Amino acid sequence: MSEFVTKPIPDAKPDVAFVSRPWGTFKQYAFNQDCTVSLMSVLPGQRLSLQSHTGRAELWIVIDDGATVQVGDEIKEYDRGDEIWIPANEKHRLSCKGDKPVRVLEVAFGNWQQADIQRYEDDYRRSEKGE
């Protein structure tokens, strides 16, 4: 699937700037970088497919407590404010095991295309390729 690699993909999580202002602070995750930002919301008892991408790496920022995330073979529970780096070609999955939806902000670096999803497991019986 190398046809999806048309933009630079960082090998490691990009630096996050912490900026102070008189009114408070903010974190800057992608300063003038080519990226795609998505807000994912997973319903209670549901999960994304176990998937990977050749054309992008992803930084996930957990918005709600109770996110269960698999990266590679490691599965961990994450809480609000946690950050997860997912390199290109790494298998990953987001799950919600609680009784409230879980939101995660995804900052994708590289070439975001739905067709660049390689599925390994999928609860909804979708094809191996993105749809």
Residues of the chain with pLDDT under 70: 1-6, 32, 129-131
Residue 129: its pLDDT value, please? 66
Residue 1: its pLDDT value, please? 45
CA distance 58 to 110: 9
